[in-house]
Structure 1
Amino acid sequence: MPARLQPSEARIKVSAITADAITPSSRFRVRQHTQALADYGIDVTEHLPLIGKNATLPGFLGRARPAAVVPILAPFIAAKVLARVPGVICSYRSDLTWLQRELVNAAYTFEGLLKRPVIFDVDDAIWLTRQFIPRIAGQVDCVIAGNSFIADWFSRHCADVHVIPTAVDTDRFAPASQCRAAEYFAVGWTGSSSTLKYLLALEPALARFLAVAPRAELRVLCDRRPEFRIIPPDRVRYYSWTPQNEASTVAAFDVGLMPLEDVDWSRGKCSFKMLQYMAVGIPTVVSPVGMNQEILRMAEVGIGARSDDDWTQSLLALYADKALGCRMGRAGRLLACERFAVPVVSHQLAALFKSYA
């Protein structure tokens, strides 16, 4: 682990180029490490664009077909590109640049103009949807990959690739109580509306489980209410996501779900939902794909489910056996603290940054 800053050492200045104030990768792969990195003598200045990278046109314009709004969309994209210029300029005030994914979703832009060395931080299989990613990978000095699948791909384009996982704040995401007894059994899922499709695909299996588990309810923490077709509305409790309520809501789950498709895009996922569940000390039922499978092999923290029947039977097993869930929850909490907590990952980042300063 890197040593704390000594009085004679110069501080290292890092420019972090991130997407916006709310994107999870910006929050959890960059922002939550800034204080810990400062303790190691590494001062991170985050440069947010005036127009967020993932911003869409307002109101009905954002829901219209792209072809119908071309006269507005083209200048909007141009404005998003220009919004990146201040961050590029400010990178020259630092010793190195920490680039959190590409600058603009649509195209290669100013990545080659950033102050070197550039450390490119990637937590998704972004090359599957952005053909210009190999160009960026070939220009940067180093790639931080959120999992081994991402690292394997980037190793073809960059000589220096490191696997550093997405950290979970184990102080904020902490167990609510010790295996509490309750009148309900809360099956929980958390995620953005862009990933609701994975939960909705699980509806038949969840409906069968709820039909034979009278004390169970499904809890959904999301920025949009899901529209189920089979599950009765009175068996679903929806929580509108906010940064303030996410940790407490997840901590009130009895089991956490992370369904995925068995495709390369899913293999690029960094299991953050699973890590949040583990941090609050609850068992997980997950698709055993990519990093999910790797974590399941580290300790008995949950159950891997592939078929609808697997999902139903896994939930029934945890519903019937409270001790099993408590044992998995304790193992998950321990693993999260030992391998994926913010201090642990901050140490890894500090060592890497010091090697490039």
Structure 2
Amino acid sequence: MTNDLLADDFRALGAQDVEVFPGPAPRVGPKPASRGARTGLVWVGSPSTYESVRTEVYPALDLLTDRAMSLAVVGAAVNRTAGRVREMVWSPEAENSELEAALVGLAPQVDSEWSRRKAFYKVFEYLAHDVIPVVPRLPAVQTLLGEDLDLIASVVDGHSPADWARAIDVAIRRVVDEAWIGARDRVFERWSAPRLAATVLEA
């Protein structure tokens, strides 16, 4: 199961030996020898989840300390640019290019019974590309990042544009240093493919 809430649902239905495992985490590939400075924000998703970024993040852009910060939206229905926002249809190339260039990755999520049971896999994708995630304080996120949550992510406490702006500002100031990479690697090891295989074999 992806998180404790979903596991509890299955236990209530009589399931036995339910394990929580939101992975497997992706592999962290080698980094290019040289890369330009990271700038801007990124959201990776799909048209079905686009509404969350439009309603929660777009209004926050005008409240950021850095009013020039741009946002790349990978997974929109059409390609278009409006002000500081570039929307594009998802493709593997677009996703990889924007993740390699971004400083901060956004994971807005409308709070609902469904969203509380999601795995938030896009947070893994941000972390794998050394992108600081900005995440809501939901059980699924806590399960995913555990005790390293506040070290490797910036947490949004609320749903208002001001709440998002504050959390994004914190993420922009955060540094991807040895402590951050170490925490990311601990999370990835906890939810690695070998750990998943061992969990299945032991069940």
- Verify same fold: TM over 0.5: yes
TM-score (norm 2): 0.80
Give the CA deviation at 1:166. 2.6
Paired amino acid for 2:108: P
3-state secondary structure, aligned to 1:325: coil
TM-score by length of 1: 0.49
- Report the Cα distance in structure 2 between the residues aligned to 1:248 and 1:301, rounded to whole angstroms: 22
How has the CA–CA distance of structure 1 residues 258 and 177 changed in structure 2, closer, same or farther, with 3 Å as cutoff?
farther
Q: Which structure 2 residues correspond to residues 215-254 of structure 1 after superposition, within 5 A? A: 215-225=68-78, 233-254=82-103
CA distance in 2, matches of 1:335, 1:226: 37
**2:44 corresponds to which letter in structure 1?**
T
> Within 5 Å, which residues of 2 pair with 1:120-139?
none
* Cα 1:176/1:148, change in 2 over 3 Å: farther
Deviation (angstroms), 1:244 = 4.7
Partner letter of residue 258 of structure 1? A
- 1:175 is displaced (CA, Å) by 5.3
Kept in 2, the 8 Å contact 1:284–1:303? The answer is yes
Checking the alignment, whether the CA contact within 8 Å between 2:107 and 2:135 is kept in structure 1 is yes
Aligned pair partner of 2:39 in 168, 185, 209: 185
Which of the numbers 301, 309, 313 marks the counterpart of 2:152?
301
Equivalent position amino acid for 1:224 in 2: A
User: What is aligned with 1:198?
Assistant: 52
Higher RCO, 1 vs 2 (CA within 8 Å, ≥6 residues apart): 2
Tell me which stretches of 4 or more aligned residues in structure 1 moved more than 6 Å: none
Residue 105 (structure 2) aligned to one of 256, 268, 285: 256
Deviation track 1:255-278 (CA, whole Å, cap 9, x = no partner) reads 111111232211101121111111
Unaligned runs of 5+ in 2: none
Kept after mapping to 1: 8 A contact 2:79/2:89: no
Letter in 2 for 1:325: V
Could you tell me which runs of 5 or more consecutive residues in structure 1 were left unpaired when the two chains were aligned.
1-144
Where do residues 41-120 of structure 1 align in structure 2 (5 Å cutoff)? none
Tell me if 1:147 matches 2:36: no
How many residues are matched? 196
- Percent pairwise identity: 26
Q: Give the 3 Å change call, closer, same or farther, for CA 147–162 of structure 1 in structure 2.
A: same
SS at match of 2:9: helix
